[in-house]
């Protein structure tokens, strides 16, 4: 019997494996480490890996790790970042040479690269997308304007010049002094800080942040402070500069403009400043010897990045603190459920005020319609501005400015039939009808079609109309008539007022747009509380409490004699009694940690975030269905699919936008999302589909 020969010989132990080799190229190569690994700036998820290129001899000195380079990729020139230089290549074929070094500045430091990798892995994104968030675009004039490293008077300040008489801002918190000692000694404490409301300017949260930064700098390390918006940057920048010196601090925000932002980035990169204060654009700032990262108001939705891979500032700073051995301070007047989970897992420690100090500083909150109020005012619970709120505002105006918080901006948000209460809809696109100003006719808020005043109600035929929602401009107009002779200040939308003085005034503002008053507001009224509680969001209660506490914390503390009842500082209107609504009870008791712990316990029973990671897929119905099937195949569970948004594109039809939500099962969410993104990229899918891990519930 003849023996059949093998078509492919079996591998032998003596067969040598493929060896790494130096690149073949027609141009002279660098004598040392002629191979460069490059991160190509491409949006293609299936190409999310470094590529090898040859280093020409003429670029041997400038082609350093971290610099921007230009390379040939897929037949076109692309930007990229040089990651490493090696002597041999893993690729066995011919290597293309680097086209040029765009700038000799090593803008991608090893610490920032490690943080970018960790963030990309956590959110199932690509490294190129994350680095794009971390490194601002280059500006050549800014590179020339910033002195080179070592040619500036920056660096660590003289401790003798900085260490003035220590501020006592942290003494109100039992764990505060220990936190400062650990920061100064070079340790890496992690803390969730619940700031006291109603503190005087010399003891409020910006001063507390500045004190923590100062102790870190005195320990020979740098600090990074991230706040929600520009106004918060303005508030905290002055105290921090006063604490460590103005030359040591850099302001880094996205609204600086290309040149100013890149110049600020270079000042930090070249070591001229060791402290950064900014918004979420500064979360990856290349601070040297990073010793402290601070995130103020960590539950604010402005900390959520709207670009892929959609990281949250809170998570970015946590990953940076872990990888660089820095302290982590997450502060605010409330605490998010994510941070509450970290506290309960003992990953971070709570830093809160003592009970006696909290009772002394927290404002007295009254819920309209509770107790005996209905006996004196029958409409105390249902009126938009009940008598108890009017009385509190009138009494407060005798002492200074008062604040009225309105949940929505604009004028008239909606109209309905006066007789049958049916909401009016646009006859063209069926969108909601409202008015942007008293002099403007009612029109559709989607397509802008004006409402025919003679068009009868579709249900009862009535021509009479009533408003279903009022914004801050209409509220300011109504209060101006109710309090004649009093100055009215409106803040919200495109017109945000930064600060008001201590003279008598009615300040009407939307959440987050409340002007700062150094002396504090004499009274605060929170209107239309039901609008915040009834938001279609998993975090509706938490977000309502955060917005209420943010406004209530601006009320001035009222001193009283022993045994004397405190004057009303805050009136909450338009909500049920506080015993039946946990968020209202948490405000009255000023106990945000209690509400966060309660919400976390409820979500643990239901398997909701943050106990279980979720993925949100948004896009055309067909593409979302295809991506959802791939995620289910990867081990995730489909929870449901709903129309996305409330605009005209959310209607039925081939272009219908939907949102599918999936929960993590046996498979890990980042790997599943990365696989789906890579598959869509490789297939060159044309439909735009957004995949987000741990999406903001309020978005």
Strands (E), 533-609: 570-572
This prediction has a pTM of 0.89
- Confidence band of 1 (pLDDT split at 50, 70, 90): very low
Query: What average pLDDT does range 140-147 have in this prediction?
Result: 93
Are residues 521 and 400 in contact, defined by beta-carbon separation less than 8 angstroms? Answer: yes
Q: List the CATH code of the domain at 614-693.
A: 3.30.70.120
224 close to 293: Cβ distance less than 8 angstroms: yes
Which residues sit opposite 589 in a β-bridge? none
- Helix (H), strand (E), coil (C) string for 212-259: HHHHHHHCCCEEEEECCCHHHHHHHHHHHHHHHCHHHEEEECHHHCHH
The domain ranges of the chain are: 1-106, 157-358, 362-602, 614-693
Q: What is the pLDDT of residues 237-269, one digit of tens each?
A: 999 999 999 999 999 998 899 999 999 999 999
pLDDT at 305 over 70: yes
End-to-end Cα distance, the chain: 75
pLDDT of res. 112: 97
3-state SS assignment for residue 170? coil
CA 65 to chain centre: 31
| Mean pLDDT, range 413-433, rounded to an integer | 81
For residue 466, cis peptide bond before it (omega within 30 degrees of 0): no
Q: Name the band, by pLDDT with cuts 50, 70 and 90, for residue 524.
A: very high
Question: What phi-psi label fits residue 220: left (phi over 0), alpha (psi between -120 and 50 degrees) or beta?
Answer: left
Once rounded to an integer, what is the mean pLDDT over residues 347-359?
93
| Chain segment 599-658, per-residue pLDDT in tens | 999 999 988 899 999 999 999 999 999 999 999 999 999 999 988 865 554 444 556 899
Query: Which helix (H) or strand (E) element contains residue 54?
Result: strand 51-54
Q: Find tokens 């978005």 and name the residue.
A: 699
> Residue 16 above 70 pLDDT?
no
Q: What is the pLDDT of residue 94?
A: 87
Residues in the chain: 699
Classify 101 as helix, strand or coil. strand
pLDDT beyond 50 at 15: no
Q: Which candidate, 450, 451, 445, places its Cα nearest to that of 647?
A: 445
Residue 559's pLDDT is 58
CA distance 554 to 391: 19
Of 50-64, 305-319, 386-400, 557-571, give the lowest mean pLDDT range: 557-571
pLDDT digits (tens, 9 = 90+) for 448-497: 788 777 778 878 888 888 877 788 888 999 999 999 999 999 999 889 99
- pLDDT for 9: 46
E strand or H helix that includes residue 81: strand 76-86
CATH tag for 157-358 (out of 3.90.180.10, 3.20.20.60, 3.40.50.1100, 3.40.50.300): 3.40.50.300
Burial of 340 (0-12, 13-18, 19+ CB in 10 A): buried
Output the pLDDT for position 133: 96
Contacts (Cβ under 8 Å, ≥6 apart) of 465 = 415, 416, 417, 418, 424, 442
d(CA 100, CA 58): 10
Residue appearing with tokens 């808020």: 445
């Amino acid at each position: 019997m003849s023996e059949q020969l093998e078509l492919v010989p079996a591998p032998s132990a003596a067969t040598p494996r493929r060896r790494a080799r130096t690149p073949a190229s027609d141009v002279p190569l660098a004598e040392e480490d002629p191979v460069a690994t490059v991160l190509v700036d491409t949006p293609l998820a299936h190409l999310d890996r470094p590529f090898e290129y040859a280093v020409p001899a003429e670029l041997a000195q400038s082609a350093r790790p971290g610099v921007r380079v230009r390379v040939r990729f897929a037949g076109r020139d692309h930007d990229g970042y040089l990651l490493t230089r090696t002597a041999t290549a893993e690729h066995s074929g011919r290597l293309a040479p680097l086209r040029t070094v765009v700038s000799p500045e090593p803008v991608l430091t090893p610490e920032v690269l490690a943080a970018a990798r960790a963030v990309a892995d956590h959110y199932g994104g690509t490294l190129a997308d994350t680095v794009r968030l971390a490194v601002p675009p280059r500006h050549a004039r800014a590179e020339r304007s910033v002195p080179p490293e070592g040619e500036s008077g920056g660096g660590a300040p003289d401790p003798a010049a900085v260490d003035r008489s220590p501020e006592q801002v942290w003494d109100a918190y039992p764990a505060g002094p220990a936190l400062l000692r650990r920061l100064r000694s070079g340790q890496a404490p992690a803390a969730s800080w619940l700031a006291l409301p109603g503190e005087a300017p010399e003891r409020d949260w910006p001063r507390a942040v500045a004190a923590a930064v100062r102790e870190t700098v005195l320990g020979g390390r740098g600090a990074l402070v991230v706040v929600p918006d520009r106004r918060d940057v303005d508030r905290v920048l002055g105290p921090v500069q006063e604490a460590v010196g103005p030359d040591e601090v850099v302001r880094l925000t996205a609204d600086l403009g290309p040149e100013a932002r890149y110049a600020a980035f270079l000042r930090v990169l070249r070591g001229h400043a060791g402290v950064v204060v900014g918004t979420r654009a500064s979360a990856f700032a290349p601070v040297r010897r990073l010793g402290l990262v601070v995130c103020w108001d960590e539950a604010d939705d402005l900390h959520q990045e709207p670009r892929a891979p959609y990281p949250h500032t809170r998570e970015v700073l946590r990953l940076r603190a872990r990888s660089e051995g820095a302290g982590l301070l997450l502060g605010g007047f409330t605490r998010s459920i994510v941070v509450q989970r970290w506290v309960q897992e003992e990953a971070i420690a709570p830093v809160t005020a003592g009970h006696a100090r909290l009772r002394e500083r927290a404002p007295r909150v009254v819920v309209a319609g509770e107790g005996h109020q209905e006996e004196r005012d029958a409409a105390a619970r249902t009126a938009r501005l009940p008598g108890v709120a009017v009385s509190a505002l009138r009494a407060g105006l005798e002492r200074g400015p008062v604040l009225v918080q309105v949940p929505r901006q604009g004028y008239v948000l909606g109209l309905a039939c006066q007789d049958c209460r049916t909401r009016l809809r646009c006859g063209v696109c069926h969108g909601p009808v409202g008015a942007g100003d008293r002099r403007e006719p009612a029109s559709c808020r989607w397509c802008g079609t004006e409402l025919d005043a003679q068009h009868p109600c579709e249900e009862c035929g009535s021509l009479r109309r009533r408003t279903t929602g009022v914004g801050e401009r209409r509220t300011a107009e109504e209060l101006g008539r109710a309090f004649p002779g009093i100055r009215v200040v409106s803040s919200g939308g495109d017109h945000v007022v930064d600060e008001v003085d201590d003279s008598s005034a009615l300040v009407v503002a939307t959440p987050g747009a409340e002007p700062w008053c150094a002396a504090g507001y004499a009274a605060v009224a929170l209107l239309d509380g039901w609008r915040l509680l009834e938001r279609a969001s998993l975090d509706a209660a938490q977000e309502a409490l955060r917005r209420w506490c943010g406004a209530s914390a601006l009320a001035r503390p009222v001193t009283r004699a022993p045994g004397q009842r405190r004057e009303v500082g805050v009136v909450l209107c338009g909500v049920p009694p506080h015993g039946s609504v946990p968020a209202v009870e948490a405000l009255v008791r000023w106990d945000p940690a209690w509400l966060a712990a309660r919400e976390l316990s409820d979500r643990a029973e239901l398997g909701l975030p943050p106990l279980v990671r979720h993925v949100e897929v948004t896009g055309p119905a067909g593409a979302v269905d295809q991506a959802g099937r791939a995620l289910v195949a990867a081990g995730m569970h489909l929870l449901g699919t709903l129309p996305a948004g409330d605009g005209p594109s959310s209607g039925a039809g081939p272009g219908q936008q939907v949102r599918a939500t999936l929960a993590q099962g046996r498979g890990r969410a980042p790997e599943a999302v990365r696989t789906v993104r890579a598959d869509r990229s490789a297939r060159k899918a044309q439909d735009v589909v957004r995949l987000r891990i741990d999406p903001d519930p309020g978005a």
